[in-house]
Amino acid sequence: MTYLPSDKRYTTMQYRRCGRSGIKLPAISLGLWHNFGGVDVEENFRSILHLAFDSGITHFDLANNYGPPPGSAETNFGKILSEDFKNYRDELIISSKAGYTMWDGPYGDWGSKKYLVSSLDQSLKRMKLDYVDIFYHHRPDPDTPLEETMSALDLIVRQGKALYAGISNYPADKAAHAIAILKELGTPCLIHQPKYSMFERWVEGGLLDVLGQEGVGCIPFSPLAQGMLTDKYLHGIPEDSRAARPTGFLKKEMLTDHKLGQIKKLNELAQKRGQTLAQMALAWLLKDERVTSVLIGASRPAQLADSLKCLDNIEFSAEELAHIETILK
């Protein structure tokens, strides 16, 4: 059956300007880090992508190594793009990244011009695209001069393989330096993608100020702290949860009694606001005008639908914000 997107897709989503650029992004963007790989069920992730676009999510975020196996999320996305979204490419913002290990040998990792250009060429083939809208350097490289890495992003934009350049996981000082180099090269930095949530606050130590001053957008990833900021762990660790798996970023030992106590108190406040904990955690990030969009993942359509309801209430009173800070101390 041919997919026809909802004709009301732009009526409920909020769009926010990305820094001082001409681009607006949806307040909620969809990340394909998990659940879109070769090990996942196509029917499920196709449904997630359909619901996302039907709901006004125009921005889909990938990276060369998303899967598993690495590369398979881009391959799967490219297939669905060509089958279901080919008439809507001009309504989409598609991003990819390179910076983590993708292939063996000295040219498959970090931040050399050789790696970034080669990696994007591979990504474009996997997604069957002529260009991506945003291409990021995924993490700072301690050994490659920042000038080389940024000149690779500049080259990629000038070649027309990406429309905009971005950086991810850069601390404030390195971000400021990278932004300055790109500005000098004539390819301004559009956006920064940091890890940011109620439980992960490092960006408040200078990075958000740099982005605000420089007119660069901000799109936090892991806004729900790998699921900790949901109702999943209110009554212990479920067997099918991310924390119960031996591999992964969320470890059982991270869910201490103190952390579980914080989660319960935050959940009580969310209920008073008429929200789930996940909805409040997303809204809490969107309260800051420097945050352009929040990058969420979804393992099934219902989870995405639930997250989108955060947009019904992104206002916080001074008392609520103070209470959140007290809980998080």
Residue with the bigger pLDDT between 250 and 193: it is 193
Widest pairwise Cα distance in the chain:
54
Structure tokens at 165: 């350049």
pLDDT at residue number 126: 98
Cα–Cα dist 100/281, whole Å: 28
Nearest to 39 by CA among 69, 77, 74, 64: 69
Tokens of 181: 């180099």
Mean pLDDT of 166-190: 98
- Per-residue pLDDT, 208: 98
**Model confidence pTM above 0.85:** yes
Closest CA to 197 of 170, 221, 172, 219: 221
Domain that holds residue 123: 15-232+282-315
CB atoms within 10 A of CB 314: 17
CB distance 228 to 259 below 8 Å: yes
Give CA–CA dist 15/55, Å, rounded.
12
Q: How confident is the model at residue 238 (pLDDT cuts 50, 70, 90)?
A: low
Query: pLDDT tens across 272-322, in order?
Result: 999 999 999 999 999 999 999 999 999 999 999 999 999 999 999 999 999
For residues 171-195, give the mean pLDDT: 98
Among 66, 52, 36, 232, which Cα is nearest to 138's?
Answer: 66
Assess if residue 152 is contained within a domain: yes
Q: Is 273 a member of any domain? A: no
Q: pLDDT, tens digit, for every residue of 263-284? A: 999 999 999 999 999 999 999 9
Backbone conformation region of residue 304, classed left if phi is above 0, alpha if psi is from -120 to 50, else beta: alpha
For β-strands 132-137 and 162-168, DSSP reports them as: parallel
For 226, what's the count of Cα atoms within 13 Å in the CB-facing half-sphere? 13
Q: Is residue 113 part of a domain?
A: yes
For residue 234, the model assigns a pLDDT of 87
Neighbours of 190 (CB within 10 A): 30
3-state SS, residue 252: helix
Q: Does any domain span residue 138?
A: yes
Domain contains 1: no
The answer to whether 59 touches 96, Cβ cutoff 8 Å, is no
Could you give the number of structural domains in the chain?
1
Q: Average pLDDT over the chain, rounded to whole?
A: 96
For residue 182, give the CATH number of its domain. Answer: 3.20.20.100
CA atoms within 13 A on the CB side of 158: 10
Note whether residue 246 is domain-resident: no
**Is residue 271 assigned to a domain?**
no
CA dihedral of 81, 195, 164, 294, whole degrees rounded to 10? 60
Residue 322 domain-assigned (yes or no) = no
For residue 237, what pLDDT band results from cuts at 50, 70 and 90?
Answer: confident
